[in-house]
């Protein structure tokens, strides 16, 4: 029988970690059916000079609302991701009673920096229970596959209503209701359960998230929904009571271990990063992970391949001048005109000298981060870097805004002001908050080289005005394989495909092998590179978000259909809800 499509002349990096080899790949009915030297096919893709890999599996995204109106899953789909997992960090939009929709929107806006107006206008509500949510999304074709975890905050609000606030303990009846809804979701194909236990996550009002202080009894009772199923994963983000000492740290880790034991030993992944407030905490987390694994627990850590922080820019959610009255008078002026005005010496002098206000002219609160940046700018400017259109995510301190200010004999606030006006006001300043305490990525390399590490924390679909870390998969290859040569390509490919697929429980993807789904990337490593993020205004209600382009992706296939070619989506919609069980 003829093939639907064949990929010829490429170097196959199959996801198993073995040496690359030259072979053609034949596809029929969305599956890989031949590997070797092939016969006729209706379509041929020439992969000469390129590698052929499995598609990437991203286990940490926040497309929970966007998936209901947007078929593309951009920017993840532009960076080789063929399956993404939503419902991370305990936040999401299902299960949800109609009366609680605004509560969940405000929560997602605060925690994940997704404009509430875009969510309110864009989400196509058509569900209450989680199984209904999955069914509603599955009825809409998408570019790539997606899977859903049940988020703790939404689950708690669904069961407890207005009582689902931080520090209010759930009753036994509440826990039973949460457990029952989670069990029904898992039986319907949800891939897991996520919870958020960090002070960094706040609702739009500044209030703590509903499940942030959930008691061990609640976590154990909810996790018991996994009992006897033999599938599904757990995901958690926690501060581990940072900087309070060893006893609170160990107590918090004990809570997470209790949750996974109550879930029948299902795999748990924990967010891992180097925090400035406690730069050595990540090593203690890994030590506890190793100890837990030695006792038979299936513990993993999700790691990022570079610094984690924010992007500052005149078009972004944050920059240090948004609280200055003279800037606020210009904030709604079109960017080109705003830049001209801000370059006037008198305007520049006023904005630089003014104190910030707590409430802007439109009545909205100025984020506390702004005051923190200004108050600490003499120090923090040495952690800020112009990104440009050829971004360096491992810059030396000598390239920082602070170092340049010192060399030019100007204040850090003046240097930052001028930097934001570069490229006609489109310059972005990279401010890594985590993973860059020593001005290099050596701690990151150690984290991601750990035996229990998983690629994660890309936050695709979230923090749309402050980051664009959905480009993480491209960075793994372009930085760690191509530029630094620290990882062989076969190890990086396995890390991005087979390892996360196996963790979630997908047996039909993550490898270039007979019978597997034809979710594939064709990549010209010699051309692989990232461009600087760019702001676009394409969300509902005129909302904006950052996208990041890349060169080197010859094609990305989902179920055998090219959904992207040379960095452009084709409009194909083979993606569906990926279920386990």
Q: What is the token pair recorded at 529?
A: 């590179």
Distance (Å, rounded) from C-alpha 24 to C-alpha 47? Answer: 9
Average pLDDT over residues 555-563: 98
Q: Three-state SS for 77?
A: helix
Which residue is listed with tokens 């078929």?
71
Instruction: Yes or no: say if 461 and 66 are a contact pair by the CB < 8 Å rule.
Output: yes
For the chain, how far is it from start to end, CA to CA, in angstroms? 32
pLDDT higher than threshold 60 for residue 244: no
pLDDT higher than threshold 50 for residue 243: no
Average pLDDT over residues 56-77: 97
Q: Three-state SS for 577?
A: strand
Q: Which stretches of 297-366 are DSSP H helices?
A: 325-328, 335-342, 345-353
Range with lowest mean pLDDT among 194-203, 356-365, 468-477, 509-518 = 356-365
Taking residue 291's Cβ as centre, other Cβ atoms within 10 Å add up to 13
Distance (Å, rounded) from C-alpha 210 to C-alpha 218? Answer: 12
Q: What is the token pair recorded at 192?
A: 């897991």
Q: Between the CA of residue 485 and those of 223, 479, 489, what are the distances in Å?
A: 41, 8, 9
Counting DSSP H helices and E strands in the chain, the numbers are 20, 26
Q: What is the token pair recorded at 266?
A: 């299902």
For residue 36, count CB atoms less than 10 angstroms from its CB and return exposed for 0-12, middle for 13-18, buried for 19 or more: exposed
Q: What is the token pair recorded at 194?
A: 């996520």
C-alpha torsion sign, points 238, 241, 245, 247? negative
pLDDT higher than threshold 70 for residue 152: yes
Distance (Å, rounded) from C-alpha 5 to C-alpha 164? Answer: 52
Residues 6+ apart with CB under 8 A from 154: 91, 92, 93, 94, 95, 96, 104
How high is the pLDDT of residue 205? 62
Q: What is the token pair recorded at 221?
A: 């009772």
Instruction: Yes or no: say if 381 and 429 are a contact pair by the CB < 8 Å rule.
Output: no
Which residue is listed with tokens 């196959």?
12
pLDDT category of residue 294 using cuts at 50, 70 and 90? very high
How high is the pLDDT of residue 63? 97
- At 363-393, the pLDDT tens digits run 566 777 777 888 899 999 999 999 999 999 9
Which residue is listed with tokens 């697929």?
501
How high is the pLDDT of residue 543? 92
Distance (Å, rounded) from C-alpha 63 to C-alpha 459? Answer: 9
Q: What is the token pair recorded at 374?
A: 């200004």
Polymer length of the chain: 581
Q: Which stretches of 172-237 are DSSP H helices?
A: 172-187, 216-223
What is the helix (H) or strand (E) element at residue 453, kind and residue range?
A: strand 453-455
C-alpha torsion sign, points 269, 275, 278, 284? positive
pLDDT higher than threshold 70 for residue 201: no
- Find the angle CA(33)-CA(45)-CA(80) to the nearest 5 degrees: 85
- Find the angle CA(34)-CA(38)-CA(41) to the nearest 5 degrees: 95
How high is the pLDDT of residue 216? 96
pLDDT category of residue 242 using cuts at 50, 70 and 90? low
Average pLDDT over residues 283-302: 98
- At 414-440, the pLDDT tens digits run 999 999 999 999 999 999 999 999 999
Q: Which position has the higher pLDDT, 560 or 360? A: 560
Distance (Å, rounded) from C-alpha 19 to C-alpha 536? Answer: 40
Beta-bridged to residue 53, according to DSSP, are 521
How high is the pLDDT of residue 365? 67
Could you check whether the bond before residue 75 is cis, i.e. omega within 30 degrees of 0? yes
Distance (Å, rounded) from C-alpha 192 to C-alpha 53? Answer: 26
pLDDT category of residue 165 using cuts at 50, 70 and 90? confident
> What b/e sequence results for 105-131 when a residue is b if at least 16 CB atoms lie within 10 Å of its CB, and e otherwise?
bbbbbbbbbbbbebbbebbeeebbbbb
Average pLDDT over residues 161-180: 93
pLDDT higher than threshold 70 for residue 512: yes
Average pLDDT over residues 574-581: 95
- At 452-501, the pLDDT tens digits run 999 999 999 999 999 999 999 999 999 999 999 999 999 999 999 999 99
Q: DSSP labels for 146-163? A: EEEEEEHHHHHHHHHGGG
Task: Please state whether the predicted TM-score (pTM) of the whole model is above 0.85.
Answer: yes
Distance (Å, rounded) from C-alpha 86 to C-alpha 57? Answer: 11
How high is the pLDDT of residue 361? 59
Distance (Å, rounded) from C-alpha 121 to C-alpha 270? Answer: 33
Q: What is the average pLDDT value for the chain, to the nearest integer?
A: 94
The domain locations on the chain are 56-307+437-530, 312-432
Q: Could you tell me the fold of the domain covering 56-307+437-530?
A: TIM Barrel (3.20.20)
pLDDT higher than threshold 80 for residue 43: yes
pLDDT higher than threshold 80 for residue 297: yes
CA-based radius of gyration for the chain: 24
Could you check whether the bond before residue 44 is cis, i.e. omega within 30 degrees of 0? no
Of 440, 532, 452, 521, the residue nearest 486 (C-alpha):
440
Taking residue 409's Cβ as centre, other Cβ atoms within 10 Å add up to 7
- Find the angle CA(471)-CA(474)-CA(478) to the nearest 5 degrees: 130
Instruction: Yes or no: say if 95 and 155 are a contact pair by the CB < 8 Å rule.
Output: yes
How high is the pLDDT of residue 367? 74
pLDDT higher than threshold 70 for residue 277: yes
């Amino acid at each position: 029988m003829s093939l639907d499509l064949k990929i010829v002349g490429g170097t196959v990096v199959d996801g198993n970690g073995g040496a690359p080899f030259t072979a053609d790949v034949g596809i029929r009915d969305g599956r890989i059916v031949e590997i070797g030297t092939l016969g006729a096919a209706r379509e041929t893709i020439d992969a000469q000079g390129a590698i052929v890999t499995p598609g990437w599996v991203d286990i940490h995204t926040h497309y929970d609302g966007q998936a209901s109106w947007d078929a593309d899953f951009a920017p993840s789909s532009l960076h080789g991701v063929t399956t993404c997992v939503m419902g991370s960090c305990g936040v999401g939009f299902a299960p949800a009673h109609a009366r609680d929709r605004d509560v969940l929107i405000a929560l997602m806006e605060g925690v994940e920096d997704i404009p509430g107006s875009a969510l309110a206008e864009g989400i196509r509500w058509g569900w209450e229970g989680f199984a209904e949510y999955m069914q509603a999304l599955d009825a809409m074709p998408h570019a790539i596959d997606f899977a859903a975890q049940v988020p703790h905050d939404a689950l708690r609000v669904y069961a407890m209503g207005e009582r689902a606030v931080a520090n209010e303990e759930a009753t036994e009846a509440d826990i039973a209701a949460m457990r029952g809804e989670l069990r029904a979701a898992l039986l319907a194909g949800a891939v897991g359960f996520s919870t958020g236990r960090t002070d960094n996550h706040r609702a739009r009002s500044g209030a703590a998230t509903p499940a942030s202080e959930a008691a061990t009894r609640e976590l154990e009772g909810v996790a018991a929904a996994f009992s006897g199923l033999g599938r599904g994963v757990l995901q958690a983000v926690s501060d581990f009571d940072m900087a309070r000492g060893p006893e609170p740290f160990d107590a918090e880790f004990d809570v997470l271990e209790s949750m996974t034991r109550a879930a029948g030993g299902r795999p748990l992944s924990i967010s891992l990063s180097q925090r400035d407030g406690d730069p050595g905490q990540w090593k203690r987390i890994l030590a506890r992970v190793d100890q837990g694994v030695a006792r038979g627990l299936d513990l993993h850590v999700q790691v990022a391949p570079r610094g984690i922080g924010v992007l500052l820019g005149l078009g972004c959610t944050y920059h240090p001048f948004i609280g200055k009255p003279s800037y606020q008078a210009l904030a709604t002026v079109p960017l080109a005109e705003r830049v001209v005005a801000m370059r006037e010496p008198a305007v520049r002098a006023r904005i630089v000298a003014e104190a910030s206000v707590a409430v802007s002219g439109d009545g909205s609160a100025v984020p506390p981060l702004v005051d923190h940046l200004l108050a600490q700018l003499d120090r923090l400017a040495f952690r800020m870097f112009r990104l440009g259109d050829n971004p360096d995510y491992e810059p030396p301190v000598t390239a920082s805004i602070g170092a340049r200010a010192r060399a030019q004999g100007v204040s850090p606030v003046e240097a930052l002001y001028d930097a934001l006006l570069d490229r006609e006001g489109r310059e972005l300043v990279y401010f890594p908050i985590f993973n860059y305490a020593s001005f290099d990525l050596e701690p990151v390399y150690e984290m991601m080289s750990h035996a229990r590490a998983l690629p994660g924390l890309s936050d695709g679909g979230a923090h749309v005005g402050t980051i664009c870390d959905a480009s993480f998969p491209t960075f793994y290859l372009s930085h760690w394989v191509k530029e630094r040569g620290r990882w062989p390509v076969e190890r990086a490919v396995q890390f991005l495909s087979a390892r996360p697929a196996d963790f979630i429980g997908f047996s039909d993807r993550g490898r270039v092998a007979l019978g597997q789904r034809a979710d594939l990337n064709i990549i010209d490593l010699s051309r692989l590179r990232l461009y600087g993020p760019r702001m676009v205004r394409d969300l509902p209600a005129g909302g904006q978000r950052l996208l990041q382009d890349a060169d080197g992706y010859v094609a990305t296939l989902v179920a055998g259909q090219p959904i992207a070619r040379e960095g452009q989506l084709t409009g194909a919609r083979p993606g569906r809800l990926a279920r386990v069980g």
